Amino acid sequence: MPATPRRQRGFTLIEVAVVLAIAAAMVTMGYPLVHRTRPRVELAGLGTQLHALVHRARQEALARGKDVAVIFYPAATTSSGTGRILVIADEAGGFMGGAAPAGNLDYCTTLPNLHGDTLDAIDLPRGVTLSAPARAQAFPFPYNLAPAPANGCSFCTGTVPSGGGARGALRFDARGRAAFFADCGVASALPNGGSVALTNSELGGSRVLTVLPSGAIRTFSVE
C-alpha cells in the first residue's frame, strides 16, 4: 500500500506575528545607532576631502611653478548649505594683491562663481560649517604653534559690501611654501601656520586642518 504523503506544515498567524515583532524591534533599536553614526561618517569624509583638496593645491603649485590658492568663504550660502572652498590657479599673476586680475575669480565677492581658473571646489552640506571647533584640544608640535581657528578659520576676516562675512586664502607658491591672506588679499602675519575647522553642530565634533609655512598639512579629529 503506497505511503500517504505528509502535508507540509505552514506558519501560524502567531508565529508570523512574533517574527514581525522581532524584526520591528531590531529596526527600532538600530535606527538611533544609524542616526548617530551618519553625521560622524559624513564629517570624517569631509575632513578627508578637504585634506586631499589642500594637498592637491600644493602639488599643483609645485607642478605649475605658479601660485595656487585655496580660498575659504565660511558664510557663503550655496544650494547645499553654508560655506564654499575653492582652489584657484593664479595663471594671470598678482591674484592675492587685492582686486583680481581680469579673467580671474574675484576674491572679494560674496559667493564667487566657478571660473576657468578653478581647479577644485567644495560646497559644504547642511549641518557642517567652517566654525569654531567643538572643544579645545592640544595638537602635537609644531602644529600646536598655529593659532586655533576660533571662528572656523584663523586667517579669515573682513566683510563685503553686500554681506557674506569673513573670507581668507591659503596660498602655495611655486616651491610649495604656504602663506595666508585675509579679506581681499591682505597678508596675514601667521609665522607658525594657519588652520580651519569643519564643525558639525549636531555631532559636536570637528576636523581641524592645519598648514605650516613649510607646506606641511595635517588634519586632526576633535570630538
Strand partners, 207: 198, 221
Query: Is residue 4 domain-resident?
Result: no
* Residue among 64, 98, 1, 7 at smallest CA distance from 87: 64
Query: Is residue 53 domain-resident?
Result: yes
Query: Is residue 72 domain-resident?
Result: yes
Question: For residue range 141-182, what is the model confidence (pLDDT) as tens digits?
Answer: 999 999 999 889 999 887 554 455 678 889 898 999 999 988
**Mean pLDDT over residues 199-215, rounded?**
92
**Mean pLDDT over residues 39-52, rounded?**
92
- pLDDT category at 76 given cuts 50, 70, 90 is confident
Query: Is residue 74 domain-resident?
Result: yes
**Mean pLDDT over residues 4-22, rounded?**
67
Q: Domain residues for 141?
A: 13-222
Distance from C-alpha of 60 to C-alpha of 53, rounded to nearest angstrom: 10
Question: For residue range 51-60, what is the model confidence (pLDDT) as tens digits?
Answer: 999 999 999 9
C-alpha cell at 214: 613649510
Query: Is residue 3 domain-resident?
Result: no
Residue 117, pLDDT > 80, answer no
Q: What's 40's DSSP letter? A: H
CATH of the domain at 39: 3.55.40.10
Residue 187, pLDDT > 50, answer yes
Which one-letter amino acid corresponds to residue 81?
A: G
Percent of the chain beyond pLDDT 70? 74
Query: Is residue 155 domain-resident?
Result: yes
Query: Is residue 179 domain-resident?
Result: yes
Question: For residue range 82-110, what is the model confidence (pLDDT) as tens digits?
Answer: 888 989 887 665 555 444 443 334 456 55
pLDDT for res 103: 35
pLDDT for res 10: 59
Can you tell me whether residue 170 is helix, strand or coil?
Answer: strand
pLDDT for res 164: 56
Q: What integer best gives the mean pLDDT of the chain?
A: 79
Distance from C-alpha of 120 to C-alpha of 216, rounded to nearest angstrom: 20
pLDDT for res 115: 54
pLDDT for res 111: 52
Q: How far apart are the first and last CA of the chain?
A: 77
Residues 6+ apart with CB under 8 A from 207: 43, 44, 46, 47, 50, 197, 198, 219, 220, 221, 222
Residue 9, pLDDT > 50, answer yes
Domains contained in the chain, number: 1
Residue 184, pLDDT > 80, answer no
What DSSP string runs through 119-136? EEEEEPPTTEEE---SS-
220, 143 contact by CB (below 8 A): yes
